[in-house]
Amino acid sequence: MTNSPFADLLLPHIAALEPYTPIQPFEVLSRQLGRAPEQIVKLDANENPYGPAPAVREALAAYPYTHIYPDPEQRELREALADYAGVPPEHILPGSGADELIDLVCRLTLAPDDAIIDCPPTFGMYSFDAGLTGARVLRAWRRADFSVDVERISESANQRISESANHESRITPKLLFLTSPNNPDGSLLDPADLVRLLKLPLLVILDEAYIEFAGLEHSLARWVLKYDNLIVLRTFSKWAGIAGLRLGYGIFPTWLMPTLWKAKQPYNVNVAATVAGLASLTHRAEIQRTVDALIVERERLYRALADIPFLHPYPSRANFVLCRVEGRSAAELKAALAREGILVRHYAKPGLENCIRVSAGRPEQTDALLAALTSVAG
Ligand SMILES: *Cc1c(COP(=O)(O)O)cnc(C)c1O
């Protein structure tokens, strides 16, 4: 592949990208593990195991217009989202998952020699999408308790020169990515830190993918109305149980909206996602019962993991618990659980050495995990 005479046609920064390690499809895993999909306890991707509300499935089944292109302006969905998020629809842009909006914001703002400020350990898509544009990633590491380090971020924001092995170049930091609750630890951003960070000459993207699990009262979405440099991203993937349909949305300052409308793919949100999103908002009280059940399970999971001598869990406001593994290999622990049909996420990245992340599941899934951990420990 790389030795084709046409390989030179690729942009060098794209050809040099690190390969992305995707999650294996469910069917592939099921074959590898020799277990039927319904026998697999999938706690590795923070999906809602209860799936969509029955009314959402019914709305999808009854939808008659799959042969017609979607509304490029998503008017009905944006009205419903405005009510849900507490901001006027003029500020809202739906996307094919929040992931699409991260990519869109990067493509609107970044060129090679621009930079983003990433606050690892955190979600991987910010540095991935920045890399696609050729921009640099400046890393302002979080503290040991996963809180953001405002001083480090400010230093990065003022960094103008980058020194690499054989040359130095001028760089312009433009975007700051923050996540609340943060993935993979589940901590909330302190609003006082955000106030300070919004004073920097940066566009701040606050990713609230898990905010429903912290409680919507912790959402800072309405701050977009008073700060011209704040974007808030949200998604239906985690709370509403429709990760496979791909629906997210951004809340943007008004000055940015005309450019977003011009730059987005006209039919970026498909009709199935729209129908499911609308039905989810109509039936949100029903979905909230699964969110409440997952919060109960998260707390039970945290307490049970804390009782296991080789695990050190971190408190979480999302639908997962990050756990440091002590005195044994997290990679081996993940593999041993997989042999029992239980999938968890394993990390070996800086700041997440020897860690696993476990999604909150149904009570019987927590039971299966805890039983497997006991037998693995024995
Ligand atoms: C899962 C996740 C997303 C992606 O959401 P989609 O709407 O499914 O693209 C965004 N941000 C964080 C922090 C996530 O964990």
Q: Are 149 and 178 in contact (CB under 8 A)?
A: no
Report which protein residue has its CA nearest ligand 1's atom 2. 209
CA 123 to ligand 1: nearest atom: 13
Residues with beta carbon inside 6 Å of ligand 1? Answer: 97-99, 123, 179, 183, 207, 209, 235, 237, 243, 248
Q: What is the mean pLDDT of the chain?
A: 95
CA 330/CA 325 separation, integer angstroms: 6
> How far lies 57's CA from each of 49, 60, 146, 286, 320, in Å?
15, 5, 38, 13, 25
**Per-residue pLDDT tens over the stretch 12-56:** 989 988 887 767 778 888 888 888 888 899 999 999 999 999 999
Could you tell me the distance, in angstroms and rounded to a whole number, from the CA of residue 44 to the centre of ligand 1?
13
Domains along the sequence of the chain with CATH: 5-51+285-377 (3.90.1150.10), 56-284 (3.40.640.10)
What is the DSSP-derived secondary structure letter of residue 336?
H
How many CB atoms are closer than 10 A to CB 366? 21
Summarised one tens digit per residue, pLDDT across range 162-220 is 776 677 888 999 999 999 999 999 999 999 999 999 999 999 999 999 999 999 999 99
**What separation in Å is there between the alpha carbon of 134 and the centre of ligand 1?**
22
Burial class (CB within 10 angstroms; exposed 0-12, middle 13-18, buried 19+) of 321? buried
d(CA 87, CA 251): 8
Q: Is the Cβ–Cβ distance between 354 and 325 less than 8 Å?
A: yes
Q: Which residues pair with 325 in a beta bridge?
A: 311
**Among protein residues, the one whose CA lies closest to atom 6 of ligand 1:** 97
How does pLDDT run across 260-294, given as a tens digit for each residue?
Answer: 999 999 999 999 999 999 999 999 999 999 999 99
Residue of 96, 125, 178, 212 with the most ligand 1 atoms within 8 Å of its CB, for mutation: 125
